[in-house]
Structure 1
Amino acid sequence: MRGGAALAVAMFTVVPLRAPRIDRAAAGVAIAVVPLVGVVLGGVLGAAAAGLVALGAPGLLAGLVAVGLGAAATRGLHLDGLADLADGLGSHGDPARTLAVMRDPGVGAFAVVWLVVVLGIQASALGALADRGVVPAVAGGALALGLGRASFAWVARRGVPAASSAGLGALVAGTQAAWVAPAWCVVLAAAAFPLLGVGAPVAAVVAAAVVVLVAAHARRRLGGVSGDVFGACAELAITVALAALTLA
């Protein structure tokens, strides 16, 4: 458990923490507990956005800064996955061709469009929450990023193969019980409900629906899951959760 928790921090953030072990067992624990890392990071980003608004910054500017800090704190890992999956799915090839496109270091039009839309929605929604005060921004950020990381457990659930024999997908595919991701959604929504009201369960439901659809489509196209699918599902879950909280 200690090794898995350390690996969750070391693998998914820039915190210079040395993981004592990197193997399938530790990685499985890391995927199960990484929503806690998302909650902490989301709360910090929400506080940063609210602090900028308190200093007189427009909400959109505060949201953009917070989203940029989030990308820096995760080395852009999940955004890179989103971009790669967008280009891969846009190639309309067979699994081998799709995976080859995703491994290409170049950035295509699909990736650019997805990144602009996703980052724009995240920044504007987080800025809108910051305009409403510190509590909505912190709680909303914590819930959204927690839900984003909870998607990892769904993508890595048992019975879902890896798309290739290397990478994160091969390391963690099939390590999670099917109930782990839904349990996280319930726990996170319940914890945020006293602070965010009905917006919390609504955000959890729409985030879960998007993750299920995207993960299923990616599995059909790739023949399994890869690290890019994890990153894409996380970013899309964060995006729709923040949007739902803003609308609610």
Structure 2
Amino acid sequence: MSRLEEIYDAAKSDKWMRGFAVFCRMALAASFIPAGFVKIMGERFAEGLPSNNPLGHYFDALARTGYYYTFIGITQIIIAILLLIPRTSFLGALMYFPIIVNICVLTYATRFAGTRLTTMLLMASLFLLVWDYDRLKYLLPLRREPERMRPIREDRRLRILFFGGVFAILAFIIVGTSYLYEIGPGNAEDECRNQCPSRANPVACQAFCDCIYVQGQPLDSCLARFDRAKNIPTRTAPSAAAPGGR
């Protein structure tokens, strides 16, 4: 632990990493402020998302929960304010983390096209918790050694490794989520149907989009239909000339 804490102290003293922590706090706050105001005003979140979209079903139901919907909005605004104030940023990060975990699982469960963004927000939230390890450790059941002064040495290699790791994680999220699902509903009917021509079985893909946006069926039911339909070979039109004909 002493070696890890030496690395931690070196990271906390690096101005580039401190700037990155400020950027993460601002990004997380920016993600909650508009979402919170929409809920406080009583408007449906993500108005452009059709009701028949799997996540649209959820937003429609959530908007009809009365003052619970308002409570969520107020909580998001409070967390955003806490994140922006240096003295309360740790409390804001603690409150933000379980909420973004829930949102991230929700977007993956509904195959929402914005899973990349929610995953990045989750990683930024996790980074802020690690960044405030000097406060977080008092909440964890860890054996703590007596505090003592440790020499802080600037380590440029640590900075390079850190930001290299950040870019690697971003690349993994962007590329990995592109191949995560065989098919998804997209954010609109047109987006769903535009993916069909490149599919091995376009007919099954079109049937999946019909199931979601025309019939309004649950995602699991539509995925089950797609799995059955994609195994049925598509029929091709017979050739105009018989084999061997002229």
* TM-score, normalized by the shorter chain, greater than 0.5: no
Q: Which has the higher contact order (CA 8 A, sep 6+)?
A: 1
Task: Return the structure number with greater helix share.
Answer: 1
TM-score normalized by the length of structure 2:
0.25
